[in-house]
Amino acid sequence: MEIPEDISKVGWYKYRAAPGSNGGSTILVSHRDGVGPEPGAFYKLETLQMGDEVFVSNNNYTIKYSISDIFLIKKSKLFKKSDLIFDDDGAPKLVMITCGGGYDFEKLSYKKNVIVIAKPLAISNTLGYTNKYKTSS
């Protein structure tokens, strides 16, 4: 999974579900920050709260999601969440990943990953049509 070099861009993991798919994980990755003073696209990802809404848009539609899970885990423990992150068969969900936690100045890297999972609420196309997702409990 490649993270875009441009810290203002968000990358989609093309080997998993596309945004708006009927099932599985849509995985988006981006930077928290970079070398300069500008924040990255996912700079505030770590500040989201359960129930907050996020939107994913392209030229054809916008999908509204509600945050359902938030994890801050050591990078070395990321594999323990792989079933949750890389789900192919389950209900549709958005998974957003960036760096977080404290910064390790020796390794020049953040010590942890922020993983935010959200469930789709509605999808709207460019003509204004809205379709509410059916979610199972």
DSSP-derived secondary structure for 103-131: EETTTTEEEEEEEEEEEEEEEEETTS-EE
Residue 27 lies in a domain: yes
- Residues in contact with 98: Cβ distance below 8 Å, sequence separation at least 6, in sequence order: 29, 30, 31, 32, 40, 42, 45, 46, 113, 114
pTM: 0.86
**Averaged pLDDT, 49-69:** 92
Q: What is the pLDDT of residue 129?
A: 56
Note whether residue 3 is domain-resident: no
CA distance 29 to 5: 11
Asked, for residue 4, whether it belongs to a domain, the answer is: no
Looking at residue 135, its pLDDT comes to 44
pLDDT (average), residues 95-115: 90
Q: How many domains is the chain partitioned into structurally?
A: 1
Q: What is the mean pLDDT of the chain?
A: 86
CATH code, domain with 96: 2.40.260.10
